[in-house]
A and B are shown apart, each in its own frame.
Chain A
Amino acid sequence: MAIELRNVSLRVGVETHIYETDLSLQPGQFNILLGTTLSGKTSLMRLMAGLEKPTTGELWVNGKEVTGIPVQKRSVAMVYQAFINYPSFSVYDNIASPLKVAGLPKKEIDEKVRQFADVLKLTPMLERLPSELSGGQQQRTALARALVKGAELVLLDEPLANLDYKLREELRDELPRMFADTGATVVYATSEPLEALMLGGYTATLDEGRVVQFGETSTIYRNPESLAGARVFSDPPVNIATIDKRGDNACLSDSVSWKVPQVLAAMPDGRYKIGIRPHHLSPVGSGVEVDGEVQIAEISGSESIVRVIVEGNNWVSEAHGIHAYEVGQKARFFFDSARCLYFDANEMLIHTQG
């Protein structure tokens, strides 16, 4: 399904939930809406589903305007974060319910239910009630119900947020495969950058009711057009600082400076902002040296996340391996200035390469 928002906005009372937005989703692909809580992900989905009428603008589906056509008349399925199943129905009947409503013959219903139960590894649980399932199995049941309808537009609103992280890891891997053969256009809302990267496909970064950027997921990650885009697509947060650009030098402080790329050297002197990804700020290595005071070092098994104050800025270093620090410890960190993102006074990216 090709779905397109043309100049769509959503206002509720005096509040603007979505500013005027143009967005053409990639048909038959995974389209991710990435943003923090209240950035407008759910509002955008509800607009796409037809659950919400836009204040301005139009919704087009397969070249036809569908603004205002109720959701029941369109081929849409939605799965929410808090998964909903019929508590008194078995897993089988839960999955079968949309097909029964559609009045399909029994034999066809049975085939489809078993096919999707198999894909979602629910076959051994078909006779159980939702209350007898783990959280992950309940969510898979809700997903199977959304899939079995064969809807052309599937909207998934943070569907893995309540699950164990290991289960999330597995489902993130399985989900794109499950939908790959169905041809459905999938819209997937998440607040986690890593989840977006794992799912691949296309990503729209959202910031306070605005679509910042839309394109192939890894391109959007690597080439944020603005500081807002870089912020949304970085967890832990991207390290930001104001530099004073003097000639071809970037000065973070009186003692920390480095050479800027030619494009920036040619621009007027003054204040610019830089962004350094946490994994480009390292406790070991070479490059620009900065000294900081450690707030905490967290270890995630194979990686260390060190929160550190550098020249008054709250920064984070994400490094491979185990790096232990005491709270308040003074420590030196390094970054490669070639990895720096530079932003102008309007917080737009200055393209320094190519």
Chain B
Amino acid sequence: MSRIEFSDVRHAYPPPPGQAPVYALKEISQVWDDGGAYALLGPSGCGKTTLLNIISGLLTPSEGSILFDDRDVTRLPTLERHIAQVFQFPVVYDTMTVFDNLAFPLRNRGMPETRVTQRVTEIAEMLDLSDRLGQRASGLTSDGKQKISLGRGLVREDVNAILFDEPLTVIDPHLKWQLRSKLKELHQQIGVTMIYVTHDQVEALTFADKVVVMHDGGIVQVGTPIELFSRPRHTFVGYFIGSPGMNVLPCSLDGGQPVFANNLLSSGYPADADLSGKLEIGIRPEFVRFSDDGIPVEIQKVEDLGRYQVVTVRHASSQIKMLVGEDETIPSHNPQISFDPDNLLIYCDDWAVEAEHA
């Protein structure tokens, strides 16, 4: 098991002839603590798979270095890095039994058969595969097969880390949560560093202690689920985490307080804030309320989503989404809204302004 460190890592794929390289990964320096459960979260094309391949050694970065416990492994091939990987689609040997599939990585490394049996039995137990060990893998459903892939990733005890690349894609939606809870439990039991790549916020926030949010080749925030929700460091995090995402509205400052379309707002920021750049406020739909004495709006759309309603309103040229309880009535004339000052954030050039530094 290892602590993994990225030091000034950048990566560009070979550009078409005559063109400048485009960096799929911009400069990244990041420490993955030994035994941590991390999720790499971001939309397709944000660079998360590139990052994963650099950890496993399938890719050598254009610049920078990777350290496992302070040992430079940047040029080390995959085989010597002792990394286990689980991919999107099950990789199993159909003609082998479940037992032999799970035993494969161990026998490959010449582990004595008694120890193999012991270890396979343990892992099968954890994944509820014990009663299928003698069965051929070909007879299993795709989620059964993916469990074998997970098991093969978990079976070796000598790995530095286990990497998961969207491992639940093929799992029936109704079964996903069971495997998610299984993985979380396994992490608690075996304590190995796990890095889990996904574009699904629920998977990321459930599995990980720390979520690494990626955007456009860079890491924009590393935080706990609560931090990502309540204090997004970048407007992208505000947009990407939560459904609907955070409202981001243009603003100016007056005496340190944000002004949105001629409305002076109250916030938790000190009165002496002085900032230059593109200024915006960020307010989650959860923290926008109807009020008697607020900003006048025009209601554009009310969506009944069962447990709550999503109301889209307009003020000046801005569209604002708000969440309203399932039993709450929507005001029919002169609707006005207000923003919860404690949850109102100010962004300067897309980065959150820390209240104490403003």
A contact set with B: CB distance below 8 Å: 36-37, 134-135, 164-167, 169, 191-194, 197-198, 200, 218, 221-222, 235, 237, 277, 279, 295-296, 298-302, 305, 307, 318, 320, 322, 327
User: With A and B bound together, what is the CA distance between A247 and B217 in angstroms?
Assistant: 65
A198–B206 touching, CB < 8 Å: no
Q: In angstroms, how far is the closest chain A Cβ from the Cβ of B151?
A: 20
User: With A and B bound together, what is the CA distance between A169 and B305 in angstroms?
Assistant: 13
Query: Is B177 in the interface zone, CB < 8 Å from A?
Result: yes
A318–B303 touching, CB < 8 Å: no
Nearest residue, chain A, Cβ from B229: A301
A36–B306 touching, CB < 8 Å: no
B307–A318 touching, CB < 8 Å: yes
B199–A134 touching, CB < 8 Å: no
Question: Residue B243 contacts which of A191, A200, A221, A301 (CB distance < 8 angstroms)?
Answer: A301
Interface residues of B in 208-265 (CB under 8 A from A): 225-226, 228-229, 239-245
A302 and B229 in contact, given A135-B44, A164-B44 (Cβ under 8 angstroms): yes
Query: Is B172 in the interface zone, CB < 8 Å from A?
Result: yes
B225–A322 touching, CB < 8 Å: yes
B307–A296 touching, CB < 8 Å: no
User: With A and B bound together, what is the CA distance between A295 and B188 in angstroms?
Assistant: 14
User: With A and B bound together, what is the CA distance between A178 and B181 in angstroms?
Assistant: 39
B241–A301 touching, CB < 8 Å: yes
User: With A and B bound together, what is the CA distance between A193 and B228 in angstroms?
Assistant: 26
B303–A198 touching, CB < 8 Å: yes
Question: Residue A197 contacts which of B43, B201, B226, B306 (CB distance < 8 angstroms)?
Answer: B306
A298 and B243 in contact, given A134-B45, A194-B305, A279-B307 (Cβ under 8 angstroms): no
Query: Is B185 in the interface zone, CB < 8 Å from A?
Result: yes
B181–A295 touching, CB < 8 Å: yes
1/0 per residue, CB under 8 A from A, across B34-45: the answer is: 000000000111
Q: In angstroms, how far is the closest chain B Cβ from the Cβ of A319?
A: 10
Which B residues are in CB contact (< 8 Å) with A295? 181
Q: In angstroms, how far is the closest chain A Cβ from the Cβ of B222?
A: 16
User: With A and B bound together, what is the CA distance between A298 and B242 in angstroms?
Assistant: 14
Query: Is B174 in the interface zone, CB < 8 Å from A?
Result: yes
Which A residues are in CB contact (< 8 Å) with B304? 197, 200, 218, 221
Which B residues are in CB contact (< 8 Å) with A134? 44-45
Which B residues are in CB contact (< 8 Å) with A200? 303-304
A296–B180 touching, CB < 8 Å: yes
Which A residues are in CB contact (< 8 Å) with B229? 301-302, 322
User: Can you list 29 A-B pairs with a CB-CB distance of less than 8 A?
Assistant: A164-B44, A164-B199, A165-B243, A166-B239, A166-B240, A166-B245, A169-B243, A191-B173, A197-B304, A197-B306, A200-B303, A200-B304, A218-B306, A221-B304, A237-B174, A277-B306, A279-B306, A296-B177, A296-B180, A298-B181, A298-B202, A299-B202, A300-B206, A301-B205, A301-B228, A305-B177, A307-B177, A320-B286, A322-B226
Number of A-B contacts (CB under 8 A): 91
Q: In angstroms, how far is the closest chain A Cβ from the Cβ of B209?
A: 11
A298–B206 touching, CB < 8 Å: yes
Q: In angstroms, how far is the closest chain B Cβ from the Cβ of A83?
A: 14
Question: Residue B181 contacts which of A193, A197, A296 (CB distance < 8 angstroms)?
Answer: A296
Query: Is B350 in the interface zone, CB < 8 Å from A?
Result: no
Which A residues are in CB contact (< 8 Å) with B307? 277, 279, 318
Nearest residue, chain B, Cβ from A200: B303
Query: Is B284 in the interface zone, CB < 8 Å from A?
Result: yes
B242–A197 touching, CB < 8 Å: no
Question: Residue A165 contacts which of B174, B200, B226 (CB distance < 8 angstroms)?
Answer: B200
6 A-B pairs with least C-beta separation: A296-B181, A279-B307, A298-B206, A301-B242, A218-B304, A300-B202
Q: In angstroms, how far is the closest chain A Cβ from the Cβ of B324?
A: 12
Which A residues are in CB contact (< 8 Å) with B284? 302
Which B residues are in CB contact (< 8 Å) with A198? 303, 305
User: With A and B bound together, what is the CA distance between A352 and B226 in angstroms?
Assistant: 40
User: With A and B bound together, what is the CA distance between A197 and B243 in angstroms?
Assistant: 14
For the A-B complex with A135-B44, A277-B306, A298-B180 known, give 4 more contacts whose Cβ atoms are closer than 8 Å. A296-B177, A296-B181, A300-B206, A305-B177
Query: Is B184 in the interface zone, CB < 8 Å from A?
Result: yes
A300–B43 touching, CB < 8 Å: no
Nearest residue, chain B, Cβ from A236: B177
Which A residues are in CB contact (< 8 Å) with B228? 301
Interface residues of B in 140-155 (CB under 8 A from A): none
User: With A and B bound together, what is the CA distance between A175 and B43 in angstroms?
Assistant: 21
Q: In angstroms, how far is the closest chain B Cβ from the Cβ of A236?
A: 8
Interface residues of B in 161-192 (CB under 8 A from A): 172-174, 177, 180-181, 184-185, 188
A327–B184 touching, CB < 8 Å: yes
Which A residues are in CB contact (< 8 Å) with B180? 296, 298
User: With A and B bound together, what is the CA distance between A8 and B93 in angstroms?
Assistant: 44
B206–A299 touching, CB < 8 Å: yes
Which A residues are in CB contact (< 8 Å) with B286? 302, 320
Select the residue from B44, B181, B306 with max chain A CB neighbours within 10 A. B306
User: With A and B bound together, what is the CA distance between A221 and B188 in angstroms?
Assistant: 39
Which A residues are in CB contact (< 8 Å) with B239? 166
Select the residue from A197, A235, A300, A305 with max chain B CB neighbours within 10 A. A300
B174–A36 touching, CB < 8 Å: yes
Nearest residue, chain B, Cβ from A167: B43
Which B residues are in CB contact (< 8 Å) with A164? 43-44, 199
Which B residues are in CB contact (< 8 Å) with A318? 307
User: With A and B bound together, what is the CA distance between A296 and B304 in angstroms?
Assistant: 28
A296 and B243 in contact, given A166-B43, A191-B173, A301-B201 (Cβ under 8 angstroms): no
A193 and B306 in contact, given A135-B44, A296-B177 (Cβ under 8 angstroms): yes
Which A residues are in CB contact (< 8 Å) with B185? 327
Nearest residue, chain B, Cβ from A296: B181
B45–A299 touching, CB < 8 Å: no
A169 and B201 in contact, given A164-B44, A301-B225, A302-B229 (Cβ under 8 angstroms): no
